[in-house]
Amino acid sequence: MRERAQRHNEPVSGRAESVSDFESRISEFPRVALFSTPTPIERLSRIEEALGDALRGVRLYIKRDDTMGLGGGGNKLRKLEFLLGEARQEKADTIIAVGGRQSNHARLTAAAAARHGFQCELALAQVVPRMDTDYQESGNILLDNLFGARVHDLPGSANPVEFAEERAAVLRAEGRTAYVMASGGSSPTGCLGYAVCANEIAEQARFLGIAFDEVVVPNGSSGTHAGLAAGFVALGSSASRVRSFSVLASEEDSRAATLGKARATAALLGCEATIEETDIRVDGSERGSAYGAPTASMVSAVQLMARREGLLLDPVYSGKAFAGLLAAVRNGDYRDGASILFVMTGGAPSLFAYRHEF
């Protein structure tokens, strides 16, 4: 089976047979089902060919969290399984999510709410100064409306979280029960989704006989990195196995946010191990001038992945993170023969909002 996993782009989905203590702890949290697990891990053989001598024996793999079928797929579904589980436990009838106009989290919240019978409201701010028709009417916002969400358009200066709390109070006065999510779904409860992903990666690595030296992810609201870090620590591994590329805040602010959320998630899991500041590895080199601002390296990374592997990165998150991974390989950051796992977080619908960049 190990040889089979090494062949070009062949997906493998292994699980350990026994239920671990970690899985027993996770089972204590309310949860709804939104996708089938595990998502596959594939070898990026054609990308490796394109990198040529710069690769120096490094092996590149991709975890396909974009393959989750609901709502166009993407990593936020991992968080939403626990967030909607908590909302159902609290007997909520309405879900309120916050974000930017092209928020992947908002899209998937709308889809997940539709699947599980919740009303959905989205508080979306114009945080990216793009007023062209593609950005304002296509991509994720088109799907938000298609999934039946009520969209509240807010100016860039607005605080979507404050608006959501005020809206929840209005709904409560009407006799309804609203559940307000943190930005990106990145509360400790939401981060449990990526703690589970850490366990999934560990099981697949054992099954495949691969020791991943590093797991690479984008970092926006910090929940993906935080959840993975907490999950690996809870499993007796190291949080420093994860490296993220900041796309929203500065490197320093992203590191601080990730550390706080990782510690809170580990505490929620009952993990007594300490996560140190030095364990949280955040790289701000690919952020660009602002959140959602295209960069030449992002465009190049998106095109390379599409033309070499037939896979779609997004222009805001995974495109910038993969650009960072490519730069790290070319700069010789990894030892010869290292195995690097890139988590493909989805977000392809937002390509349509940025079509003029490609």
Residues known to be catalytic: 103
How far apart, in Å, are the Cα atoms of 221 and each of 16, 19, 24, 37, 279? 31, 31, 27, 24, 18
CA 286 – CA 73 distance, rounded (Å): 24
- Angle between helix 296-309 and 318-330 (nearest 10): 90
Six-digit token string for 308? 């070499």
Residue owning tokens 């009952």 = 270
Q: Please give the single-letter amino acid code of residue 296.
A: A
Phi, then psi, of 62 in degrees rounded to 5 = -135, 135
- CA–CA dist 343, 246 (Å, integer): 14
At what angle are helices 76-89 and 104-116 packed, to 10 degrees?
50
- How far CA 149 is from CA of 109, 140, 158, 232, in Å, comes to 9, 12, 20, 35
Structure tokens at 283: 């790289």
Q: What single letter denotes the amino acid at residue 55?
A: L
Contact status, residue 62 vs residue 313, Cβ threshold 8 Å: no
Show Cβ contacts of residue 232 under 8 Å, excluding neighbours closer than 6 positions. 198, 202, 238, 239, 241, 242
3-state secondary structure of 243: strand
